[in-house]
Chains A and B, each alone.
Chain A
Amino acid sequence: MSEEQIKYLEKQFEERIARDEKIEPKDWMPEKYRKTHIRQISQHAHSEVVGMLPEGNWITRAPSLRRKVALLAKVQDEAGHGLYLYSACETLGISRDELYEQLHSGKAKYSSIFNYPTITWADMGAIGWLVDGAAIINQVPLCNTSFGPYARAMVRVCKEESFHQRQGYEIMLKLSNGTPEQKDMAQDALNRWWWPSLMMLGPTDAESVHTEQSMKWKLKRKSNDDLRQQFIDQTVPQADILGLSIPDPDLKWNEEKGSYDFGEIDWDEFWQVVKGHGPMNKERMKARVGAWERGEWVRDAAMAYAEKQQERKEKQVV
């Protein structure tokens, strides 16, 4: 294709997106669009799958049968999210094995929030409330993103995430209205998860790369700082209802702005975790890589068996 032809196709492509048309896997797309989408969708898929680990950590110790069932169902949903997102990503011409390889080698990123440890039961509440809450804020705009398979996956995922958020909040509510020990447990979890949840919405706009292009492709519709503000404004009143305090002495309602002012985020901590040196980065990867390696003979067996079955079928036809 000549450069001119490509320019023409790109122009048409951008116009389609501007008209809110969906791009489908078989449509022509600029290489950069494909690569950016592979990166973002796989990063999202990896986050769902790595995200199973911190909560999976409490399945065997859930305090009641009802909570155990709800937690199992939640973690199972996250696995399902991983599955649709990997499938959406595969439509762009990359295999799931390649995507795993990128995760396991450290080439691909996943949400840094999952590199924090879950050390008490209240963390199950805090994660549902704050982490799924922040995820929803990030993801609701993606239900209208330009790439069809991603947009459709997001519609389904967001519905389940809001269910998770309510479930997490309900755990916090129960703890906050419980014994002093339970209330302390809830406050402690909020203290530990608050700042990482704010970081989850991404670096400040000043430091954020790729934003402009992403806005055009509707991979992003609001800036990180706007999303963060939205999250804070939505969450603070919820903490008030719980009777818990947000661990930020600078948090204050700003009448003029009609939103909360808040304290400085520790971006050094954020970058440390992003670069692989958070409290649980190594353990999370060890768990994923370990599961994958331990499972190799199982996957090989399934493949060998399927091939044998196919051969047997073919012989029968002959």
Chain B
Amino acid sequence: MKQNLYNYILGIADNSLILGQRMGALTGHGPSLETDIACTNISLDLFGQVRSYYQYAAKVAGDKRTEDDIAMLRHEREYLNVLLVEQPDTDFAYTMGRQFLFDVYHFLFLTELQKSKDLTLSAIATKSLKEVSYHQRFSTDWIKRLGDGTEESNKRMQTAIDDLWTYTDELFHQTDADKEMVAEGIGVDVTTLKEAYYQKVADVLQESTLTIPESKYFQKGGKQGIHTEHMGYLLAELQYMQRAYPNMEW
């Protein structure tokens, strides 16, 4: 099996899986019916993408594993998502902050992935890009509303951005699989996205009357499967049925 390609696909898909899981958990508990519908929609889009990626990964693996095995039967250390997407929904500002900081990256990333020599990945990228441009618009609008809304919302939004900022740098780290894939013309060189990312984020924060965090201390590890303490609980729910009732069809 092409191990690098396999890991590369998971590195992309796991972000959507974990963020989709987080957004799905909010259904029915959001600040309004409209935001509930939108957050569920984002979750649905992300899981749709996840299924395309994992189905492809299962094909690349070439054994009996299925999309669900890949999604639900790995150990925590084998999930390759960035730490940002697993962060909890402390309040709606954290939810939107996490979404925004990921969406800006996701949009830039997929735009480049469309040029991949791997036709499956480029097709998934093209399809997902339409969805992600909507996600980005939605989260950007909320950053503006909360940043430039009331004094309280501004404070909460700033706190969320300050806290989540530490997880942004990891988005631009390259793993060994990434480097190989870039060399083969399949992968995206994420280091080249960094400038455009921070520029776009800064523009939106500024417009939202929010301060751009100055902290230079960043967290990393997700891409190596070293996660925050939140991850185990998230996976416990995600994997519950597959672990409790192994080898069954649903």
* Interface positions of A (Cβ within 8 A of B): 49, 52-53, 56, 59-69, 72-73, 75-76, 79-80, 82-83, 86, 121, 171, 174-175, 178-179, 181-182, 287, 290-292, 294-306, 308
Residue ID in chain B nearest A73 by CB atoms = B44
A-B contact count (CB 8 A): 140
- B79 to chain A minimum Cβ distance, whole angstroms, is 15
- CB neighbours of A296 from chain B (8 A): 31
Are A298 and B92 CB-contacts (below 8 A) given A61-B241, A69-B44, A174-B249? Answer: yes
Q: Is the CB of A305 within 8 A of B33?
A: no
Residues of the B chain whose Cβ atoms lie less than 8 Å from the Cβ of A61: 237-238, 240-241
Q: A65-B67, A79-B36 are in contact. Are A294 and B31 (CB under 8 A)?
A: yes
Contact present for B146 and A298 (CB under 8 Å): yes
In-complex Cβ contact of A72 among B27, B32, B152 (8 A): B27
Interface size on B, residues (CB 8 A): 47
Q: Does B68 contact A (CB under 8 A)?
A: yes
Nearest residue (CB) in B for A49 is: B33
- Chain B CB count within 10 A is highest, among A64, A121, A298, A308, for A298
Which of A65, A86, A302 touches B50 (beta carbons < 8 Å)?
A65
A294 touches B33 (CB 8 A): no
Assess whether B41 is interfacial by the CB under 8 Å rule: yes
Minimum C-beta distance from A212 to chain B (A): 34
Q: Does B197 contact A (CB under 8 A)?
A: no
Compute how far the CA of A211 lies from the CA of B32 in the bound complex, rounded to whole angstroms.
34
Q: A residues within 8 A CB of B32? A: 295, 298-299
Q: Are B31 and A59 in contact (CB under 8 A)?
A: no
What are the residues of chain B within 8 A of A306 when measuring CB–CB?
A: 145
Output the least CB separation between A45 and chain B (Å). 9
Shortest distance from the beta carbon of A131 to any chain B beta carbon, whole Å: 16
Contact A72 B43 (CB under 8 A): yes
Q: Is the CB of A56 within 8 A of B149?
A: no
Shortest Cβ distance from B50 into chain A, in angstroms?
A: 6
- Cα A174 to Cα B71 with chains together (Å): 21
A76 touches B37 (CB 8 A): yes
Known contacts A69-B48, A72-B43, A174-B250; is-contact A297 B245 (Cβ 8 Å) = no
Asked if B25 CB lies within 8 Å of chain A CBs, one says yes
For B240, the chain A residues whose CB sits under 8 A away are 61
A174 CA to B241 CA, complexed, in Å:
15
Q: Is B213 engaged at the interface, CB distance under 8 Å to the other chain?
A: no
Is A69 in contact with B51, judged by CB distance below 8 angstroms? yes
Q: Are A181 and B245 in contact (CB under 8 A)?
A: yes
- The residue that B31 contacts in the complex, of A63, A298, A308, with Cβ under 8 A, is A298
A-side contacts of B91, CB under 8 Å: 294
> Given A82-B33, A295-B30: A301 and B51 within 8 A (CB)?
no
A300-B150 in contact given A64-B250, A79-B33 (Cβ < 8 Å) = yes
Q: Are B37 and A80 closer than 8 Å at their CB atoms?
A: yes
- Bound CA span A143–B85, Å: 43
Nearest chain-A residue to B37 (Cβ)? A79
Q: Which of A66, A72, A301 contacts B44 (CB 8 A)?
A: A72
Q: In the assembly, what is the distance between CA of A52 and CA of B245, in Å?
A: 26
**Of A75, A182, A300, which one neighbours B27 at CB under 8 angstroms?**
A75
B153 contacts across to A, CB distance below 8 A:
297-298, 300-301, 304
* CB-defined contacts of A83 to chain B, threshold 8 Å: 33-34, 37
Contact with A along B139-155 (1 / 0, CB 8 A): 00000111011101100
Decide if A63 touches B25 in the complex (CB within 8 Å).
no
B158 interface residue (CB < 8 Å to A): no
Closest 9 CB pairs of A and B: A295-B31, A301-B149, A301-B153, A63-B241, A298-B31, A52-B28, A56-B28, A63-B250, A60-B237
Find residues 124-169 in chain B having any chain A CB closer than 8 Å to their own CB: 144-146, 148-150, 152-153, 156
